[in-house]
Each structure stands twice: as C-alpha cells, then as structure tokens.
Structure 1
Amino acid sequence: MKYMTGNEIRSAYLNFFKSKEHMILHSFPLIPENDPSLLLIGAGMAPLKPYFTGKLVPPSYRVTTSQKCIRTGDIDNVGRTARHHTFFEMLGNFSFGDYFKKEAISWAWEFLTEVLALDKDKLYVTIYPDDTEAYDYWHNMIGLADERIFKMEDNFWEIGEGPCGPDSEIFYDLGPERGCGQPTCTVGCDCDRYLEIWNLVFTQFDRDAKGEYHPLEKKNIDTGAGLERLASVIQQKESNFETDLIYPIIEQVLSICHKEYSNPDDKVALKVIADHIRAITIMISDGILPSNEGRGYVLRRILRRAVRFGRILGINDIFLAGLVDTVIDILGGEYPELIEHKEFIKRVIETEEKQFSATLAQGLMLLKETMEASDGAKMLAGAEVFKLYDTFGFPVELTEEIAQEHGIAIDKEGFEKAMKEQQERARAARHDASAKVATPDTTHLDQVKLTNDKYAVTAKVVMVGKEGVEIGEAHDGQEVTIILDTNPFHAEGGGQLGDTGVLTSAFGKVVVEDAKALPNGLVYLIAVVEEGVVHCGDVMDIAVDTARNLAMARNHTATHLLQAALRSVLGDHVNQAGSLVTPEHLRFDFTHFSPITAQELDKISTLVNKEILKALPVTIEEMPIAAAKEKGAMALFGEKYGDIVRVVTVDDFSCELCGGSHVTNTAVIGSLCILSESGIGTGLRRIEAVTGAAALEKSQADAKELEIIAGLLKVKTEAIPEKLENLLSQMRETERELQDLKKKEALSGVDSIIAHKETIAAVPVVTAQANVDSIDELRDLADTILDRLSGGVVLLGAIHDDKINFVCKVAKTDTAKGLHAGKIIKAAAQAAGGNGGGRPDMAQAGGKEPQHMDEALKAGYMAIYDVLEK
C-alpha cells in the first residue's frame, strides 16, 4: 500500500468514480432540505433519498460525493474507541437504476487494490446468506476464496416499509497484534483486528406494510466508505485520531495544556476535543448556531462537552476558537465555505464558550445545593442529574465525579430513563413531521414541457395526487397535490411563503393553499377541492392572489435592503441567518454579537427608507454562480446553490442570490417600519418589520396614540417628552421617599422582633413573622437582625400574594455546631405546604398555605432545637 494524505484519498476516490462516468456533487449542507424527519445529515445517501425512491429524476444516474455527516447517538463513545465520531466524511458512489452489483463490487475492489494499493490478502467480505448473486461476483469474478467470504444474517439493509435490500461489507485485516488473541477471532469479532472499511447496499426490493418483499423495477446502489477509517489504514495508525485529518488538532491542544498523549485519561479528553471542534466548525459553517432546541442544541451540547474535557486537561481559559485555524487548514481545501466564514465561526465559538463558563459555575452551585438538600441520601435522583444535563448542559460525567467526591452515587438508571423519554419525544416529533412530507412522484412527467409563467391565466392539470400517490381525480373536501403544465404560482422558499389562489373549470373549483418546489425546481400546489371534481387533464382558469403576492414582494425586497443597511451600520460580519416573509410582515434573523442600540436602529431604518425613496429599479438576472460571485452577490449562509443562480440587485446598494418575489422598484415598498429588535441565541439577533399598507397603518396608529397621550397629559404632542420626564422625575422622588419610610418602618420592628429571641445552648434564636413587601426586603431584615444578634439563627416568614416567603440565616460560626439553614427552612416550608433548601448559612423557600404560618415557624424552631439540644 502507498501512503496518501486524507485529502489525497478523498480526491482519489471522487476522481476514480468520475472516471466511471459519475457526476461529482459537492457535499450537501448538514441541514436536510425538505426533510423534517431528519435533524441533521448523518449518512451519504440521506440527501439523495428522493432519487432513490424514484420520485425525482436525478441530475445524473451515477453520482459520487464526499458527504459531511454528524451523528451523536454514540457521543459518549467518542474518544473511548478508535472509530466513533460526531463529525465524519462519508465517501459514496450511487446508482439510481443504472448499474448494479457487478459494477459496484468490481469498482470497490479496483479502487481498494489498485488506487489505494491495499494488500488483497488482507481483504475479506461479508454477504447476506441468500444473496447468491453477490457471492458469485466475489467468488468467481473477483476470485475470493470461500474462507474469505462470510455469510451473515444481519447483512440486510431496511428501515420499515420502502426500498431495501442485502448489503456486502468489506473488511481489512489489521493484523493479529490488533486482535483479541482468541482462536475464534475472525471477521465479525468485537475486537479491532478486522476493520470494516466499505459497505455496498444493493437496494433491490420494496417492502410493503405486510412485510412482504417485491422486486424493484429499478435497482439502486448505495455505497459508503468512511474517509477517516480509510486514512487510518493507509497511514497505518491505531485509530482515526492519529491520522493527518485529526492529529494536528490534538497536537495543538497538547501545546496548550502541556499534557502527554500517552496518558490514557488525557488521551480520551484530547480525542474528544479534536473530534468535537471539527463538528463545531463544520456545523457553524453550514449556518447552525447554538440554541436550546433542535440542531442548535446539538451544537451547544457538543461545544459544552468539548469545554468540559478542556477543564479535565487543566485548560481554564477560552481555547476552542483558537483551534479553528487548524481545522480549516485540514478541511478548507474541500470545503471553501470554512475559509469564507472563518472569522464568524471563531466569534460564535468564543461567545458561546464564554457564556458556558458562567453556566458551568451556575451548574456547580446548583449541584452543590442539590446534594446539600438531599438530607444525607447516598444517591442523587436521576431526574436531578438529567435536569443538570438538559437545562444547564452539565455533563453527566462531571455530576458523577463531583457526587462521588461527597460519597454520593448517581441514579444512572433514572437518568437513562429521563434521557430515553426525551429522545422518544424528539423522535416522535420528527416522525409526525415526516408523515406530513408528501413529495409527488414526478419521474413520469416530461419536465422540459413544464414551464413557469407568472402571467399565465390558464393551464392544464398534469398530475393530481394525495400523500405522494397519483390518484387521477379528486372530489369535494379532499386535500390534494396538483401540478400544472404552466405554473404562475411562486413557490415557498428563501423564507417567503408560497402563493395562494383559485383554480376553476367547468367541473369544479380548487382553492390553492400553498405552492412548494422540489429540488429540481418543479412547482407543485397544495390545494383543497372546494366544489365539484378535478381531473388530471382538466384545463383550468387561474387566479393567483396577486395582492397577497405583491405584499410579500414588498417585504422580501425590504429584507434585502435591511441586510445591506445592517452591514453598512454594524459591519460586514452581519449575515442572514433565516427569514420569514409573509403578506403581513417580515422577520429577519442575522448574525451579530451585541444588542443594537437605539441610535444604530434609527440609522438602519433611516438608511433603508432613503433607498426606498430613491425609487431605485430592482433587477433580476439569471447567471452562472461564478459570475454571480464575481458580481459580488451575497449568498444565504449555509445554503446550497446550483450552477445557474438568480441574482437580485438594487442599484449599487444590494446584490443577493435569491429566488423569491420582488418589486420592480423600491418605491413600491412605500416605507419600512421596524417593530422590534431582539436577541434569539448566541450571536443571533432578530428584526421584525412591516412595509406598504401595514407600515402606513402602524404610523397612523402611532400618531393616534400620541394624540390620546397628549390629551391625557394636557399638552401638545411635541411637548409629551418634556412632560413625561417631569412626571417620571416626580415619581422617582416619591418612590425614594416611600422606600425610606418602608425601611424605617421595617427597622423600627427589629427591636420588637429581637425582644422575642430565645437562647438555646448559648445560641440566640429568632423565629418570627415579618411585615415586608418582597423577598429582597425579607433578606435585608434577616441580615439586620443577625448583625444585631452578633451570631445565632434567624428564621423569618412573610405573607405576600397568598403565599409565604421564608428566609433563614445562620451565622458562619454557628454552622460548625451542625446548624444548617437549608434544613431548617425545609422543615418550616414543608409545614406550610411548600419545600426548599439552600446553603448552611443562608436559604430561602416558599409555602402555599399562609394559614399555617405559626406551625411553620414552630417546625423551623424545633429543627434548630433538635440540633442544639442533642
């Protein structure tokens, strides 16, 4: 075998299959397109599902890719095994009804033995026992002896109903020194000797709801070879982590922490960080940002886990962003989007890591309080462990480690149960979403004859379908999918909703509720038959809701002007991170790392409205993507574009790639009125605004409200600010005077409260009901009393809004006597229908039964007495 770098292996693979007439497709983004059943792309074939099912005509019947993949199902094994990763690259070659087993097997063998020059004598294969065809090709065509072909029942790929078939795996023998040493060690053993490096899936059956298998008319090939695994074999490394695809990152981490890679515990942490920073960098480059749900939560979890393992290595400073350059040095040649967004990726990571440092401290405090409130229990409840993990991103390993230091175990079974319940909820949600996806089967349509024409007023129905199945005709009340030979409806995309309208014929009336586009650009309508019947072949009159479309066009063009203004005022780091364009309003999400000031927001609004008033023409052109980039057109962050793109330009102010509806002149927008600006995640902001008639209505409503306010204040509208300032000044002064009076009143009651103190075992004890308005005032009062006592215990309760607030303070010197504020207050709160806990020197809690105030204070008193009079 000859040495090759990881990048050389990838290039060799793609070029090899290009020589076999395969089209090389750039990796699809990690965010699945039109497939809510998937959270992230986790396999090479996942973005190609519409071509495998035969519902879409592929760009080529032979395709090869190196697909970015993210999997987190075995995240706890990352770093502890030689092969588990969160991010990896899957090399694949695919056939959609073209070649089949003979070519797939032959080319896999040719690439491995001739291009990579692997030793033929070290290669073994597995097949499905009934797959005599695959056996024949391996045995007679390739020449493998029987003892190197293993028949295994689990060599069959299927996921419920739908396309499925046998598969054949290729293994490489890494040598007896990597094995378990058992005489029975062979292919399929759990040890590391025989490494699976390639899987060929032969999709040849269709499984129906009854579990019966029917031969597919068009058989497909889906193969996958892990790039990192191949690199470990070619470069003769013990694990994927020692290859040139990952180890340079480990070396950089070693230079930061000054540890040794040979140390087993340190090695795990180093591998986790190296793996995770690759995933983090790739995910952000595809437009995924940290959040508390969905893909953003996956990213946040991986990032926080990397930080945690950095702490294990003794790295307490911010460090992850500094690793990004090394990741990009390795992967940037294949994924230029990494280079393009490098500074932004670093900024997101740095911001999130800083925030997690504070969260980590908060989680540690909560864990400590949880253990203190456990009343000596020797096990931490699984629900509490999961709360720390799920709410605070607190690694379960860290919880277990700290708990063990205090002699407490964690309920792993309870934690796993809570984790499983969450995963099932997420899986069910994705399944429900998947059930709603009904991609029409369009392969029988001649797409060359199907056109888009926004001016069309009649068209012929070429397909009527329901839930992805062609039905020919539909009647009153049925929700259907319709495709027209000439389509004037603008499809949903780029954040813009799809057009609506009405189709009518002599046979019936159909209300179009949405328009969507397939990956190949074909537009299909989601509609309801309101009257009569609709047939395939009917010629129908079309009435698109043009007023609604124009309202969306105003808002869509306004988002382009808004992005340009944001970049002008805030800086070039601003990128679109999502949008929603409806007839009523627009929502624009963008990257920025601090709140926008009122002055900045005013500048942005003014700049957009100036461009609107200039009455600038809006031009739309189609051109090759290279020409669009040369023109300076901005692309949507994380979006995948074809060779020919649509460029929307507004003079020299804005130039973007976009497929949405737009006005022909900025003057049509009328004006832009910003409704709100807010933060929605790490480095992510949101602006909501209105244009056109909605902006006019908003201005008129604001003017009317000002008139009402002016009338109430008995001044002219222009004098409102001055009048309000005077009133607020008077209110602030009155509030100060009121607070002073309350403070004096509260302090005047201190003497009467202290007068009822008791002394137990030489410790002064005060338990009393206080007359205060808030928990803050109750804490202040407890502090004052404790200071006056010069030690001891204070337990106070106050009724507010039909509930009781409790505060307990114990002098630091008296906690050594066994007094614990958290336990005292827990006894009091439980007597009043509540619960709580806290530190030994300070705790607060609540109760739901104010009528039991006296019993609660007595229960707290007895908790103090029981400790001091032991």
Structure 2
Amino acid sequence: MGETERKPLSLEFFKERGFIRKKCPVCGEYFWTLDPNRELCGEAPCEPYSFIGKGLPRKFSMDEGREAFLSFMESRGHTRVSRYPVLAKWRDDLFLTSASIVDFQPYVTAGLIPPPANPLTISQPCIRLKDMDKVGPTMGRHLTIFEMMAHHAFNTPKQEIYWMNRTVELFHEYATEVLGVKDEEITYKEGFWEGGGNAGPDVEPMIAGLEVATLVFMNLKETPSGYVEMENRIVDTGYGLERIVWLSQGTPSAFEAVYERLVDVFLDRLGVRKPDQDLLESYSKLSSLMIGIEKGLKREEIRKKIARKLDMNVLDLEKEVSGLEKVFAVLDHTKAITFMLADGAVPSNVQEGYLCRLLIRRSLRILSFLEANVPLSELVALQIDHWGRSFPELKEARERILEIVDLEEDRYHKTIEKGISLISRMAKRLKKEKKGEISTDTLIELYDSHGIPPEIVSRVAADFGVSVRIPENFYEMVAARHESAQPKPPEISPYVDKVDAYPKTEFLYYEDPYQLEFKAKVLGVIDDAVILDKTAFYPEGGGQPSDIGYLTLDGERYEVTFVEKVKDRILHHVRGSDLNALKPGAVVTGAIQKERRLSLMRHHTATHVILASAKMVLGDHVWQWGAQKGEEESRLDISHYKSISKEELRRIEQIANDAVMKNMEVRTFWLPRHEAERKYGFVIYQGGLVPVTTIRIVEIDDFNVQACGGTHVQRTGEIGPIKIWRSKRIQD
C-alpha cells in the first residue's frame, strides 16, 4: 500500500494522552511520541539500542516473561489458549506456523467458525526461515524460532469486542505496569501489515531502539482484484517474548537472555571464545546496522562501517565476533529443529520435511566451519533438557528426536561424498565449454535436487578454475521456495458448470452405509450422468473408489459404472439402451453391488486401524500421506524417517488384528470444525485438509479418530483378518 493511501492513525488514545505525530528524518516513517524534543522514530538502526547494559527495572526469564504477559491479559478479560503445533497441519497453503494469527486462519478470520475464546491470549512458538542468514549477526533481532505472545479479538457485525484504541491502551498498560517502562520512553510507529490473505494498518511500539510488538488491525482480505473490506475486524497482535526478555535483561545479545547457561555450554562444546564484554556490548548496540542486508547492502561493507564506529580493524572485529555469531545460529537452529521434530516433522525432500532438513544441514555446515567435532544430536539433547521444563512434549519425544538427528547427520555426510563427484564432473564440463562460473540458480538447484551446500560446490569447483559466488542470503532464498505450499489444483469435472440448476443430493450412504437398495426421483440427465434427489451410491473420494451397480426404471436396467460428486450433487454415470426414458420426476430403484461396497468399507476401516497401529509402533510422528482402497488389497502411505523392519511390521499387524478381535465400535458423527479440533487436535486431518466448517468424524473407540468422508463398518470385527503384504520406503 503506497504512502498516499495510508491514513494517519489518529487514535483517541494518542490524543487523550498528549502524543505528537512526527516523521522520522532517517526512515521517513510516521510515529507518535510524548517527547516534543524527539526527532527519531525510536527504532534501530535509525538510532542505536540504548538498553544494552541497562535493561529494565524488572528482569524476566523466558518463563517469567511468558507468564507475566498471559496473566496480565487474563486480568484484562482474555482467556488463555494453549499453543498450536509449529507445523501448520490445518493449512493447505503453509507448512509452518509463522505467527499466532496463523492458528486462526482462514476459518476463524473469515467468520466461518468461532474462535476458541473471544478475546483470547496465547504464547505461540513460531518458525520463520526468511531471515535464516541473519540469525547471529543481528545478535538476536532475527531468529528462526521465537514465541509470539498475543492477544486477539474477533469483532463481528453482531459483537464488538475491542478495536484500535483498546489494543494500543492494552500494550501501554502492559509496558508501563508490567515491564516498568516510562510513558515517554515508548514510541508508536505507523505501518501496514499483510499476510495469509489478510491485511490492515498497524502500530509498532518501540522501546530503547527495539520493536517489541506489532499491533495489527486486520480489516482487509485479499481478492484477485486487490484488497477489499472484511465484514469482520480482527485485532492481531504479536509481542516478541525473546525481544522483551532481552530488553528486560539488557544483555549484549538476546541469546544470553533467552538461552541462559546454554550459551556458555555451546561455546565450550564448540570451542569458541566469547569476546570481551565491553566490546560485545559496544558491537551489539550497533548490530542493528546489519538489517541493511535486507536493503541489498553487503555484509562485508556493514561490518566495515561498524568497525570504523568502534575504531577497530575490520579483520580484528571479524575474528572477535564471527565465531560467536555462528554459535548463536546453531543455538537458534537446534531449538527450531527440536520443536519441529517434537511436533511431528520427518526430514525429507518435500514440504515441512524439507524445511526441517534445511535447518539440520545448515547447522551441520556451521559446525564444519567451526571445526567442531560434536554430534548435532548432542546439541539437540541440550535443547530438549533446557526447554523440556516448559514444554514437556519435547522430553516425551526425546528418543525419536535424537535418532532422527543422528540419521540425518549420517545421510548428510553421504550426500557430501556423492556431491563432490557430481560437482567435479560439472566443473570439468564447464571448464571444457569455457564457462568459468556456476550461477546462483544452479547453486540452488544443486541444493534442492542433490542436497549439496554451496560452500562444497565452491570448494570443489575452485580446483578446476570454476568460480562460484554464494549469495549472502543463500539459505533464505532456498527456504523462500519451500515455505509456502502450492496446493495442487483440484481436478475440474466437466460438469462443474452444469449442476447448479439442480438441488443438492441427499447422501443416504452416510445415514446407513449398509443400505444397498433405495428409491429416488430423477432430477435430470447430463450426457450419461443421472442426477437423483437422493442416493446410496458412494462417489469416488478420499482414496475410496465409487460404488457400482444398477438403476432400474420400468424393468429397464441402467448399469452404474462410475459415481462422482460435483458441488454436493451426485452424478451416476450409466450405460443403457434408452437414457431418454430417465425423465425428470421418474422414480428409479438403485441397487449397489453388495460385495464391492462391503469390501471397500472393510478396507477403509482397516486403513484407519493400521495407521493407528503404526503410530503405536513407530511413534506419534507417523502421518498419513495418501491411501488407495481396493476390493482385495489397499495401500497406505505414511511418513517415517527410515525403513520399517520386519519386526515392526509384525507388531503393527499384530496390534491391528488385536483391534479386529476386540470388535470395537466404529462411530461416525458430525462436529463443528472448531469443536472437533478442540476435542481431538489436528491429528484428525490424517487424510489431508478438510475445507469445510462441519466435519465428519470416524471414531474407533479410544483406538483412533480421524476426519473422514468414507464408508465404514460399524464394528472392527467385521473387517476380518488383516495381512500386511509388504512395505517399501520410497525416496525422500
């Protein structure tokens, strides 16, 4: 949104408190202040950090800072909500939870389902990889994993919770009463935020050079033609817990405040000396200049500028801080890896698995630079011990997390061995073709397709006289290609524009999956597709083939060869000698092929049973990635980090057959989406995202529960014996 389109945020709060609106001569942004003599906006690098070495009257640890915020918001009428996973399994457009509002997009923000509470407060661990290469040099301003503390209010035309004035007032009360900051020390910058399909004006509070929160007033939604006003207006705030803890303690970097003793432990294990405290504080106050990387400035030039301000030789400065910056990056990355794996990530070459592997391999590269002979799993174990006090789920997943990290480190070293040979051949060819450089696009492709880090490419290529220029933000460029999902466009039925003239079909197969005959009225025929007012024929979907059978009219049988659902209308594709007889209003008898229907029901329920059994044997990280049901055999695709052993297969099969022998009840029922997620969690989305507001749940006693639209038996005993024929691990 251009500057001319922005309106001044002339809030009553600012007017009543005597705030003055000014324009920063450095960044050109508008801000509000109580200090008539203030000229700068209060955000670094327009002015340096002034809290380093000072801090706030009250010092907070991470746990103390989190609890102080949540308790404060509870005292102001907000309901505390537990954190969501860092893997955004409820979204089909994102892999990682990058902000607290992601928890409530798109259904709550669109007003389709109610929020879990209104207003609410949460402290949400978030992962963002877009600033990966800046982690360390900016001393904690940039992180890949951070906690976004927030308070959200969802205003509708029928219910106003609070809006701009109260939002800013809540921050001001928190900053002055909880943090102990003086009124005149706070500045409020005007801005504009967008993300996840929504947007709106925002206010960014600054304290001592540090942006500690963003207060977004979400009132726009994205459309193909641009932004339009939303019916609902949403207060979307984000308070940086790590930044607030850093601000309170005034340590040279955020890492000392956030990671406490782990900083010294990592420095010792990685063999890096910590710089002199005075130098570190002086450098940290100027470290915000590193943000210039975002504007295209070279890191080397920024380092020279900082060195001049410190009256140091740039090489001496580099020697003092570069090792520390790398240790900070490893601290950050290993924490992010820990949370991703604990929440179910399986390193791979796709989706969130790719992003997890990216962090693991970047960490291993940094360890290589430091010449640290330390297994990555040892560092991850330290993270589990440290953060497991506040997040016990990390300790529960400890064994699995460490096993995965060890496997990934082994795979990484094998990848490097193979990569050296590949790069050697490529460099020889380029040299022969008199091409003396490997492009950035090729570097990214080599990393994407073969997992070869650019530093290895550069080292090997140099032996053949081929040059490589590694972008300073290389890993950010790689992550940007993978952080957002590209949903596969649904297959468009040729009938999608032809069914609107007909009412929605009544689905008898949900009322009674054992019903094999029924009578229904013909509504119309499109080509060879018959539309009825109701049907017991199940349409293809969710990996389950459609039913087949017959429609009968006046003794004439029409073979049903395929059934599909288009916009909640069921189309029965038929073969017959005279389709003209199927006129609107005619009553037909439908007959479903019994053995096929019952076999598919047994197989569908069996896949649920096997998935639950696999989770019990292999771990909670197991997730269904696909399935295909058949009459005689079915296929189930699951995520796992290594090949399944014969003994594990035997145990999975045994548990599955035990479930059959127990003859457990299989219940199907409908729940509002928010209620289903609150009751069962996001584990219900094993078959993929369900883009509806009311969800059909299939529950097998306390053994398994999933969101599913297929047909199922009523008791597990009907499945019969389950035999797992084979297991194959596909390439990552």
Shorter-chain TM-score: what band? 0.5 to 0.7
What residue is the counterpart of 1:125 in the other structure?
A: 188
Distance 1:528 1:39 in 2: 33
- Name whichever of 204-213 and 270-279 sits farther off: 204-213
User: Residue 29 of structure 1 contacts residue 638 of structure 1 at CA under 8 Å; is this kept in 2?
Assistant: no
Distance 1:31 1:546 in 2: 42
User: Residue 606 of structure 2 contacts residue 722 of structure 2 at CA under 8 Å; is this kept in 1?
Assistant: yes
Secondary structure (helix, strand or coil) at the match of 2:100 reads coil
Which residue identity does 1:84 align to in structure 2? H
User: Residue 122 of structure 2 contacts residue 151 of structure 2 at CA under 8 Å; is this kept in 1?
Assistant: yes
- 1:78 and 2:135 aligned: yes
Distance 2:83 2:58 in 1: 27
Aligned counterpart in structure 1 of residue 663 of structure 2, from 616, 619, 627: 616
Secondary structure (helix, strand or coil) at the match of 1:218 reads strand
Aligned counterpart in structure 2 of residue 229 of structure 1, from 243, 248, 259: 243
- Using the TM superposition, give the Cα deviation of residue 350 of structure 1 relative to its aligned residue in structure 2, in angstroms: 0.9
Deviations 1:812-841 (A, max 9, x none): xxxxxxxxxxxxxxxxxxxxxxxxxxxxxx
**1:221 to 1:589, Cα distance in 2 relative to 1, 3 A:** same
Question: RMSD of aligned C-alpha atoms?
Answer: 5.1
Gaps in structure 1 of 5+ consecutive residues: 128-154, 174-193, 437-450, 458-473, 479-483, 505-510, 516-524, 532-539, 623-632, 683-870
- 1:589 and 2:616 aligned: no
What residue is the counterpart of 2:372 in the other structure?
A: 315
Which residue identity does 1:558 align to in structure 2? A
What residue is the counterpart of 2:44 in the other structure?
A: none
Distance 1:634 1:422 in 2: 28
- Using the TM superposition, give the Cα deviation of residue 407 of structure 1 relative to its aligned residue in structure 2, in angstroms: 6.0
What residue is the counterpart of 1:195 in the other structure?
A: 210
- Using the TM superposition, give the Cα deviation of residue 17 of structure 1 relative to its aligned residue in structure 2, in angstroms: 1.9
User: Residue 290 of structure 1 contacts residue 681 of structure 1 at CA under 8 Å; is this kept in 2?
Assistant: no
Deviations 1:326-382 (A, max 9, x none): 323343344332222111111111111111112123223433444444248643344
Deviations 1:52-72 (A, max 9, x none): 222222233312222222222
Which residue identity does 2:665 align to in structure 1? V
What residue is the counterpart of 2:193 in the other structure?
A: 157
- Using the TM superposition, give the Cα deviation of residue 22 of structure 1 relative to its aligned residue in structure 2, in angstroms: 2.2
- Using the TM superposition, give the Cα deviation of residue 84 of structure 1 relative to its aligned residue in structure 2, in angstroms: 1.7
What residue is the counterpart of 2:43 in the other structure?
A: none
What residue is the counterpart of 2:602 in the other structure?
A: 554
After TM superposition, list the pairs within 5 Å mapping 1:497-646 onto structure 2.
513=564, 526-527=568-569, 551=599, 553-559=601-607, 561-562=609-610, 573=619, 576-578=622-624, 580-584=626-630, 585-589=634-638, 591=640, 593-597=642-646, 601=649, 605=653, 608-609=656-657, 612=660, 614=661, 616-618=663-665, 636=683
User: Residue 346 of structure 2 contacts residue 640 of structure 2 at CA under 8 Å; is this kept in 1?
Assistant: no
After TM superposition, list the pairs within 5 Å mapping 1:348-367 onto structure 2.
348-367=404-423
Secondary structure (helix, strand or coil) at the match of 1:289 reads coil
Distance 2:245 2:266 in 1: 21
- 1:204 and 2:262 aligned: no
TM-score (norm 1): 0.54
Deviations 1:569-610 (A, max 9, x none): xx565763325455422405264644423x764675467557
**1:264 to 1:90, Cα distance in 2 relative to 1, 3 A:** same
**1:294 to 1:425, Cα distance in 2 relative to 1, 3 A:** closer
Secondary structure (helix, strand or coil) at the match of 2:274 reads coil
User: Residue 477 of structure 1 contacts residue 530 of structure 1 at CA under 8 Å; is this kept in 2?
Assistant: no
- Using the TM superposition, give the Cα deviation of residue 220 of structure 1 relative to its aligned residue in structure 2, in angstroms: 1.8
User: Residue 551 of structure 1 contacts residue 583 of structure 1 at CA under 8 Å; is this kept in 2?
Assistant: no
Aligned counterpart in structure 2 of residue 29 of structure 1, from 73, 82, 85: 85
- 1:278 and 2:314 aligned: no
Structure with the greater relative contact order (CA < 8 A, sep ≥ 6): 1 or 2?
A: 2
Which residue identity does 2:103 align to in structure 1? P
Secondary structure (helix, strand or coil) at the match of 1:52 reads coil
Aligned counterpart in structure 2 of residue 105 of structure 1, from 168, 178, 181: 168
Distance 2:136 2:535 in 1: 53
What residue is the counterpart of 1:738 in the other structure?
A: none
Which residue identity does 1:576 align to in structure 2? V
Distance 1:68 1:89 in 2: 4
- 1:89 and 2:137 aligned: no
Aligned counterpart in structure 1 of residue 438 of structure 2, from 366, 380, 388: 380
Distance 1:663 1:385 in 2: 52
**1:526 to 1:272, Cα distance in 2 relative to 1, 3 A:** farther
User: Residue 252 of structure 1 contacts residue 323 of structure 1 at CA under 8 Å; is this kept in 2?
Assistant: no
Secondary structure (helix, strand or coil) at the match of 1:576 reads coil
- Using the TM superposition, give the Cα deviation of residue 204 of structure 1 relative to its aligned residue in structure 2, in angstroms: 3.3
Aligned counterpart in structure 2 of residue 656 of structure 1, from 704, 718, 721: 704
Secondary structure (helix, strand or coil) at the match of 1:90 reads strand
What residue is the counterpart of 1:676 in the other structure?
A: 726
TM-score (norm 2): 0.63
**Structure whose CA Rg is larger:** 1
- 1:115 and 2:183 aligned: no
Aligned counterpart in structure 1 of residue 270 of structure 2, from 230, 248, 257: 257
Distance 1:286 1:356 in 2: 22
Distance 1:592 1:377 in 2: 40
Distance 1:337 1:434 in 2: 39
Distance 1:208 1:606 in 2: 51
Identity %: 26
What residue is the counterpart of 2:717 in the other structure?
A: 667
- Using the TM superposition, give the Cα deviation of residue 512 of structure 1 relative to its aligned residue in structure 2, in angstroms: 8.5
What residue is the counterpart of 1:770 in the other structure?
A: none
What residue is the counterpart of 2:349 in the other structure?
A: 292
**1:342 to 1:378, Cα distance in 2 relative to 1, 3 A:** same
**1:600 to 1:76, Cα distance in 2 relative to 1, 3 A:** closer
Secondary structure (helix, strand or coil) at the match of 1:356 reads helix
- 1:306 and 2:356 aligned: no
Aligned counterpart in structure 2 of residue 345 of structure 1, from 401, 409, 418: 401
**1:278 to 1:665, Cα distance in 2 relative to 1, 3 A:** same
Deviations 1:71-126 (A, max 9, x none): 22232222222322222221111111021012111111111111122233321111
**1:202 to 1:670, Cα distance in 2 relative to 1, 3 A:** same
Deviations 1:425-456 (A, max 9, x none): 986934958999xxxxxxxxxxxxxx999537
Secondary structure (helix, strand or coil) at the match of 1:672 reads coil
User: Residue 169 of structure 1 contacts residue 199 of structure 1 at CA under 8 Å; is this kept in 2?
Assistant: yes
- 1:43 and 2:99 aligned: yes
User: Residue 500 of structure 1 contacts residue 513 of structure 1 at CA under 8 Å; is this kept in 2?
Assistant: no
**1:226 to 1:24, Cα distance in 2 relative to 1, 3 A:** same
What residue is the counterpart of 1:692 in the other structure?
A: none
- 1:399 and 2:457 aligned: yes
User: Residue 304 of structure 1 contacts residue 356 of structure 1 at CA under 8 Å; is this kept in 2?
Assistant: yes
What residue is the counterpart of 2:72 in the other structure?
A: 16
User: Residue 622 of structure 2 contacts residue 639 of structure 2 at CA under 8 Å; is this kept in 1?
Assistant: yes
Secondary structure (helix, strand or coil) at the match of 2:423 reads helix
Aligned residues: 556
Gaps in structure 2 of 5+ consecutive residues: 1-56, 156-160, 276-319, 494-506, 514-522, 528-532, 552-561, 574-586, 670-679, 690-694
Deviations 1:463-517 (A, max 9, x none): xxxxxxxxxxx99879xxxxx9x99999999x87699999x9xxxxxx99569xx
Deviations 1:216-269 (A, max 9, x none): 44322111112211121112123322223x354443332322221333221122
User: Residue 684 of structure 2 contacts residue 706 of structure 2 at CA under 8 Å; is this kept in 1?
Assistant: no
